[in-house]
Chains A and B, each alone.
Chain A
């Protein structure tokens, strides 16, 4: 906005306005239209995508869908076992990726000697991990957890840990930003009063950065809920008509169940897939909305 003020001031000099003729104004207007249009394209696709799922899946969106188990009859198929499978995985991500990620972020921001080679290495590695394709994490899970080293098979713990590895860099990067946003004077104040560094960090810096950390964690969990590619490699695409009973129980998850139904030829399964997509979209969009709201509501300007 601040640019518009000096720009307006440039109109009075006659020598300049004579050069700024209709052509410049037209070009300026066309460019404004084009850049605005690009945002509109994104929004239109978003609306189309949501509407398309709603229209297609509306007839199946009812209590039966949520409480039924997968079935070979499209109109009886439901997502109960998929929802419970997804919940188990969220639980595993919550107790592994979130604490480890926040701990790593605290270390990198408050305790690490940024000149040390190993800390610089960790810094680069975290940034790279964040951009590794999700299917590569599936390969990691396949080689070490599902088969290979631990050979646990396609069970809840395998998938949960694989998703934890996947979202770990997301948690670390978001938490680091949240911790960095707290001014160093807060910690200096605590240190001046005789607190140890850990006391200052854990009682002053960390509470102040909770909203940012929560935002990042919610986005990470939402990513884990929607992720399907790594689970395919772990052999999670199965016909599961029971809820997981423990960490070494077979399972299915929402995105996997949706993928299964999409890849079937019968139209009935596509309708069921659309209905399950509404549920999945509802969960992930709600989490995104909460995360954005948290960020805006508690964002402090120091």
Chain B
């Protein structure tokens, strides 16, 4: 202690100098941290450039009208056809199947976790459900191909069973994969609904079913819709499940028992095919990529807006 007290007066003037030195060091550090944050802008600009530049080239060679209205997709054949509609219909079919599974199940799971589950049950059910979101997508693809597809083929009630590759199996498994995303965001929204609204409804004699469906769900609706939109956006962007289980044939059809190719699966398959850099086959990757990117971007922006809305209402 004695040493410290004698030293202190001596170091005082120095401390003043040090503060100045520190100010510069501090600015330097904060500048570095800002660069880290700004790096996300670099990545975004990179993505946009990576998609736009080759796509412009592509659309110079193939007219956008042919691309968006053509009903045949065979870009890598000699007699090439560049109609993206079969890929779009494949994406829509798989996404719809996934939505039919993950939207009601996800909402119901959120209601269970937020309104029904006891605190202890919730504390272990929620993490287990979140594990579903952490499983690698190749694993889901394998599960769809070797478990769900045979199950469907053996127990098919409507005539000709689906083929080894079909959109149905991929869509079903994708729905389960997205379930925790939908459930967790919906539950956040329900959690933000003030307790007083529930208490008020209960005081008027509402049952738990009535509180859930007529108070909590309507009050958290913007967040729930955000969860739905984000879930659908994830379904559109998912690659491995469809690449493995839905097959590689672009089919303009809405029959879920058929093999189909989605936009993502095409990009993945084209990447596998090792296209020569600069060839038309190479550029189709980017043209389909930008279509996919714009679709998911619009949905993500809607979803982010909606989440902000419910936060503003109840925070």
Q: List 26 A-B contacts (CB under 8 A).
A: A3-B115, A24-B207, A31-B213, A38-B105, A38-B106, A39-B113, A42-B176, A45-B176, A49-B140, A52-B147, A53-B143, A112-B34, A112-B37, A128-B44, A129-B40, A131-B300, A135-B289, A136-B237, A139-B51, A165-B43, A196-B22, A222-B134, A226-B138, A228-B136, A229-B264, A262-B142
Nearest-Cβ distance from residue B182 to partner chain A, whole angstroms = 11
Q: In this assembly, does B56 line the interface, its C-beta being within 8 Å of a C-beta of chain A?
A: no
* Cβ-defined contact, B199 with A233, below 8 A: no
- The answer for the CA separation of A198 and B141 in the assembled complex, in Å, is 47
Nearest-Cβ distance from residue B31 to partner chain A, whole angstroms = 10
Known contacts A16-B205, A122-B37, A273-B142, A229 near B46 by CB under 8 Å: no
Closest 4 A/B residue pairs (Cβ): A133-B237, A226-B136, A103-B36, A143-B50
Residue of A nearest to B22 (CB): A196
Set of chain B residues within 8 Å of A7, measured between Cβ atoms = 202, 206-208, 211
Could you list which residues of chain B lie within 8 angstroms of chain A, going by C-beta atoms? Answer: 22-23, 25-26, 29-30, 32-41, 43-44, 46-47, 49-51, 53-54, 104-106, 108-109, 111-113, 115-116, 118-119, 123, 125, 127-132, 134-143, 145-147, 176, 179-180, 195, 198-199, 202-213, 230, 233-234, 236-240, 243-244, 264, 267-268, 271-272, 274, 277, 285-286, 289, 292-293, 296-297, 300-301, 303-304
* Cβ-defined contact, B234 with A148, below 8 A: no
Chain A, interface size: which category?
Answer: 35 or more
* Cβ-defined contact, A229 with B137, below 8 A: yes
Set of chain B residues within 8 Å of A270, measured between Cβ atoms = 146
* Cβ-defined contact, B139 with A277, below 8 A: yes
* Cβ-defined contact, B116 with A32, below 8 A: yes
Known contacts A124-B304, A229-B264, A262-B145, A143 near B49 by CB under 8 Å: yes
Residue of B nearest to A169 (CB): B40
- Pick the residue among A132, A143, A144, A258 that contacts B293 (CB under 8 A): A132
- The answer for the CA separation of A124 and B37 in the assembled complex, in Å, is 12
Nearest-Cβ distance from residue B208 to partner chain A, whole angstroms = 6
* Chain A window 33-66, contacts with chain B (Cβ cutoff 8 Å), 1 for yes, 0 for no: 0111111011101101100110010000000000
* Cβ-defined contact, B205 with A10, below 8 A: yes
* Cβ-defined contact, A38 with B128, below 8 A: no
Q: In this assembly, does A244 line the interface, its C-beta being within 8 Å of a C-beta of chain B?
A: no
- The answer for the CA separation of A184 and B83 in the assembled complex, in Å, is 56
Residue of A nearest to B35 (CB): A103
Residue of B nearest to A121 (CB): B41
Set of chain B residues within 8 Å of A78, measured between Cβ atoms = none
- Pick the residue among A34, A118, A225, A229 that contacts B108 (CB under 8 A): A34
Which among B118, B138, B209 has the highest number of chain A CB atoms within 10 Å? B138
* Cβ-defined contact, A140 with B26, below 8 A: no
Nearest-Cβ distance from residue B50 to partner chain A, whole angstroms = 3
- The answer for the CA separation of A292 and B127 in the assembled complex, in Å, is 7
Set of chain A residues within 8 Å of B128, measured between Cβ atoms = 43, 46
Known contacts A46-B128, A128-B300, A233-B285, A103 near B33 by CB under 8 Å: yes
What 19 additional pairs, Cβ within 8 angstroms, besides A137-B47, A143-B50?
A10-B206, A31-B212, A53-B143, A101-B36, A102-B36, A125-B40, A127-B304, A128-B300, A132-B293, A133-B293, A133-B296, A135-B237, A142-B285, A165-B46, A227-B137, A229-B264, A233-B267, A262-B244, A288-B131
Q: Is the interface of A mostly helix, strand, loop or mixed?
A: helix
Residue of B nearest to A277 (CB): B139
Could you list which residues of chain A lie within 8 angstroms of chain B, going by C-beta atoms? Answer: 1-3, 6-7, 9-10, 13, 16, 19-20, 24-25, 27-28, 31-32, 34-39, 41-43, 45-46, 48-49, 52-53, 56, 99-104, 106-108, 111-112, 118-119, 121-122, 124-129, 131-140, 142-144, 147-148, 165, 168-169, 172, 196-198, 219, 222-223, 225-229, 232-235, 237, 255, 258-259, 262-263, 270, 273-274, 277, 280-281, 284-285, 288, 292, 296
